[in-house]
Amino acid sequence: MDSVTSQNNKSGTIAGIDVGGTFTDLLIFDASGRVAFAKSPTTLDNQAFGVMNALSDSGKSLHDIDVIVHGTTTTTNAVLERKLARTGMITTRGFRDIIELGRRTRPQPYGMFGEFTPVIPRSLRIEVSERLDADGNVLTPLNVDELKSAVQSLINHGCESLVIHFLHAYANPQHELQAARVAASIWPNAYITTGHSLLSEYREFERGVTASVNASVQPILDNYLEKLQKELKSSGYQRDLLVMNGNGGMVSAANVAREAAKTVMSGPASGVMAAAYTGRRAGIDKLITYDMGGTSSDVALILDSVPSVSHELDIEYAMPIHVPMVDVRTIGSGGGSIASVNDAGLLQVGPESAGAAPGPICYGKGGTRVTISDANLMLGRLNPDTLLSVDNPVSLDAVRQSVKEQIGSALNLETDTAAGAVLTIANNKMAGAVRMVSLSRGHDPRDFVLFAFGGAGPLHAVAIARELGIPRVLVPARPGITNALGCVVADLRHDFVNTVNRPLDNVDSDLISGILQRQSAQGRKLIDAEVIDIESVEYRYSADMQFIGQTHLLNVPIPSIDTTAPALQQLFEKAYLERFHVELSEIRANLVNLNTTVIGAKAPVDLGLLIDANQQKRSLDEARIQSRAVWFDGHWLDTPVYQREFIPHSATLIGPAIIEQMDTTIVIEPDCRATSDTDGNLLIEVN
């Protein structure tokens, strides 16, 4: 796609709002080609207040906004904190404990401790007589009387929503559908989730948890969106509200709760969508995204400008949400990761984290243990004048003293060297984790560009890329609001998965095209029903396959809806060889799932608008705001500090350098070369 300087956004004025753990970010692209930003503290109890504050801070009238796209962590928080709606489950006789038993695991390979709380308590899970076999044949008919009394009992227990989860419903949904009808007739309720409806895939634990999460966050999401829409309406917004899904697409607020589980992970997904969009415009189609926050970092892969999607993600221990979501992996280091010296006399960073509270020492909120952020501050990488402002009771000396006591003395190192060591170890560890994420998907990280965002990503990205042999780092114009940008650039998107699970040589080619056609038509219908204008509709097909005798799945893209079974065999063997470097053509393939993604693309957004050309200075010298001593590789170097907005777009700068902007700080390691492009991206060549 060419970069176009549009005077008008075809979609009119679009606002993207992302609610993060600390801040709510707003980004508005208006119809006349201007961009507005706002940042407001997140209001945890009711995120709507933070959203409304950000909107009012932006200075825009809500009357003038055509579309608001919203990324929310409402459902994520509800699941992680188990603040869920009271939900009941009706399930096959003999199987009510499926979501509590899991797959016989423990949280960590070593250590016999660990706890697990099921999404729905045992007392609200009721069995009824019914049974299908694996081919979907009815062995025991659904006992409607038992069903009715189960429903009544759950109503009496004060349930707000209901899950109906029967064994083998993916093979034949008849009993689940019948049960849902009966339940609805005695309990008119918008929150009835059947197991097969979200994901028609085998594996009863995963499907059951997914359905349970869905039902138990539906009322919460709906309540929240209702409150927000009311606020928006009373402030003059007349149009539909769209909500980001974890698959990187958006859906209207009116429909989103039906599949509420899909909004879990929507924040991280939107960041990756923005990265893919930014990369595509910059002509870079293979990216590893690296989003470093306060407690952890998120890593994802983008291939051919398309973020990798997985429907096998666990959002925490034994909490699988098996709906297609952008495959974002969390690695255990963030700015708040604690550095300490262990009994072996070795420095370690993490896994303990100071998180947001008490936070790093330098935040002055009571943190006493040295963190990655403290080391960055002490070594001049973060600006002490900004961080240690008047209302912050902590001094740089206090941070130094802690580094000296907690790290330097124990290792017998100078305090500066000790702080440098914290960064070395942290970068080494993060690089290793990024590498594992890439390798586990079968890719060599050196073939990618590292896309750094989030508040702290650009502080570490160049050092991490260097460690990994990644040749280039891309820092977008506004790293701190990448998730909000993801909301603005998101398309409508619907994903479908159907289990086939048969040897490929027993699969009729008509069956393949039949399923794909059905999925496509279903997606098209949903997209047509949305109020937003669409420029084009795109269909993506893929198959999940394996060799017979294996259990792990490989996702194989299918180029056309008319693909035959023999063609699929070839595609699979090729993909298998590429991924595992093992050729096994003598063994037969199994077709497990067929998948379709239907995307309704919005009009493109001109990212060039994210930078204000009027602020740019004529020369790099003028863009320099100060210089300060910064620690690189064991030495203090006098390092120029630039204001990001001032840097002329054709400029090239050579590290060491620090670039500051409102939402992040970028560290250019010595001898690395950074250039900026017309979208305001900074491309750093790693030496």
Partner 1 sequence: MSTAIADDPITLAVIQSSLQQVCDEMDLSFSRAAFSPIIAEANDRSDGIYAADNGELIAQGALGLPVFVGTMQFSTRVLIEMIASGAVAAPQPGDIYIVNDPYLGGTHLMDVRFAMPYYVDGEIFCWLSNTGHWPDIGGAVPGGFSANATAVEQEGLRIPPVKLFKRGVLDSEIYSIICSNVRVADQRIGDVKAQSAALLVGQERLDQLVERYGAAGLKAAIEELRRRASTQMRHRIEEIDDGTYSGSAIVDSDGVVDEPLTIQVNICKRQGELHIDFDGTSAPCAGPMNSVLATTQSSVYLAMRHIFPDVPINAGAFEPLHIKDPEGTFLYAKYPRPVSGCAAEVSQRIAEAVFAALVPALPHRVSAAPAGTSGNFALGGFDPERERSFVMYQLSGGGYGGNHDHDGLTNGCSTIGISKSPPVEVMEQYFPVLYREYSLREGSGGAGEYRGGFGIKYSIELRRGEATASFVMDHGRVGPQGVLGGMDGMPNTVTVWRDGEAYIPRHLSKDQGISIKAGDRVEVCTPGGGGFGNPADRPLSKIQSDLENSYYTEQQIKDSYGVDLP
**Rounded distance between C-alpha atoms, residue 117 and residue 102, angstroms:** 11
CA 392-372-78 angle, to 5 degrees, is: 80
Residue 643 CB, nearest approach to partner 1 (Å): 33
Of 547, 589, 583, 540, nearest in space to 567 by CA:
589
Residue 328 to residue 269: CA distance in whole angstroms: 7
- Cβ proximity to partner 1, 463 vs 666, nearer residue: 463
Which residue do the tokens 């210089």 mark? 627
Sheet-wide strand order for 664-668: 624-632, 635-643, 657-661, 664-668
Q: Kindly report the number of other CB atoms within 10 A of residue 320's CB atom.
A: 21
DSSP letters, 428-465, are HHHHHHHHHHHHHTT--GGGSEEEEETTTHHHHHHHHH
For residue 580, the minimal CB distance to partner 1 (Å) is 4
Q: Which residues of 27-65 are buried (b: 16+ CB within 10 A; e: fewer)?
A: bbbbbeeebebbbbebeeeebbbbbbbbbeebebebeeb
* Distance of closest approach, residue 642 Cβ to partner 1, in angstroms: 30
Nearby residues of 518 by Cβ (< 8 Å), 6 or more positions away:
none
Name the minimum Å distance from CB 351 to partner 1.
9
**Whole-angstrom Cα distance, residue 71 to residue 50?**
13
CB atoms within 10 A of CB 402: 22
Bridge partners, 200 (sequence order): 498
Residue 547's DSSP bridge partners are: 589
**Residue nearer to partner 1 on the CB measure, 553 or 625:** 553
CB contact at 8 A, 526 and 627: no
CB of 439 to partner 1, least distance (A): 6
CB of 582 to partner 1, least distance (A): 5
Residue 489: CB minimum distance to partner 1, A: 33
Q: CA nearest 274: which of 438, 470, 442, 475?
A: 475
Closest distance between partner 1 and the C-beta of residue 270, in Å?
29
Nearer of residues 301 and 475 to partner 1, judged by Cβ: 301
From the CB of 368, what's the least distance to partner 1, in Å? 21
Q: How far apart are CA 402 and CA 406, in angstroms?
A: 6
Here the tokens at position 287 are: 């990216």
Closest contact distance (angstroms) between CB of 552 and partner 1 is 5
Query: Which of residues 21 and 121 has its CB atom nearest to partner 1 in the complex?
Result: 121
DSSP 405: I
Structure tokens at 182: 């009966």
Q: For residue 479, give the DSSP letter.
A: G
Of 344 and 390, CB closest to partner 1 = 344
Contact 327, 308 (CB under 8 A): yes
**Distance separating alpha carbons of residues 435 and 521, to the nearest angstrom:** 39
- Sign of the torsion formed by the C-alpha atoms of 246, 248, 249 and 251: positive
Q: What are the phi and psi torsion angles at 157 (to 5°)? A: -80, 5
At 313, give phi and psi (nearest 5°).
Answer: -90, 145
Q: Identify which of residues 421 and 492 has a Cβ nearer to partner 1 in the complex.
A: 421
Q: Minimum CB separation from partner 1 for residue 549, in Å?
A: 5
Three-class SS string for 588-653? CEEEEEEEEEEEEECCCCCHHHHCCHHHCCCCHHHHEEEEEEEEECCEEEEEEEEEHHHCCCCCEE
Whether the Cβ atoms of residue 568 and residue 545 lie closer than 8 Å to each other:
yes
User: How far apart are CB 470 and partner 1 at their closest, in Å?
Assistant: 15
Min CB(213)–partner 1 separation in Å = 18
**Cα torsion for 333, 655, 347, 108, to the nearest 10°?**
20
User: Which segments of 311-441 are extended strands (E)?
Assistant: 313-314, 320-321, 325-326, 329-331, 337-341, 347-353
CB of 687 to partner 1, least distance (A): 17
554/558 with CB nearer partner 1: 554
Q: Which is nearer to partner 1, 184 or 413 (CB)?
A: 413
